[in-house]
Structure 1
């Protein structure tokens, strides 16, 4: 497996996946618990960023510090 290459926020493209990015959480935006046919799904949005910019990160898992 090749070594991971960390990218910065300003180099991201829409729908990009399979990347490594190091960001800091600037502000938690929302945390929602949904019920999908008996399965609980947690959805989170956080404003995150690095020295080059900020993005809204959406996930179905918690961000652990």
Structure 2
């Protein structure tokens, strides 16, 4: 579970950095690319979070 959490935090950080670069970019092509990258990394983070939640629900309570 710690691996999932570390991956989730890394993806969220990378998505935020890509969004920052997008916001600072003056070139339209770079803005578009970093926008797509930020959205993609955000989606990956959402997928990891869903996997974490599904994994925790499937474990029996002890």
Query: Is TM-score (shorter-chain normalized) higher than 0.5?
Result: no
User: TM-score normalised to the size of structure 2?
Assistant: 0.23
Tell which has more relative contact order, 1 or 2 (C-alpha 8 A, sep 6+).
2
Q: Greater strand share, 1 or 2?
A: 1
Please say which structure displays the higher CA radius of gyration.
Answer: 2
Higher helix share: 2
TM-score normalised by the chain length of structure 1: 0.23
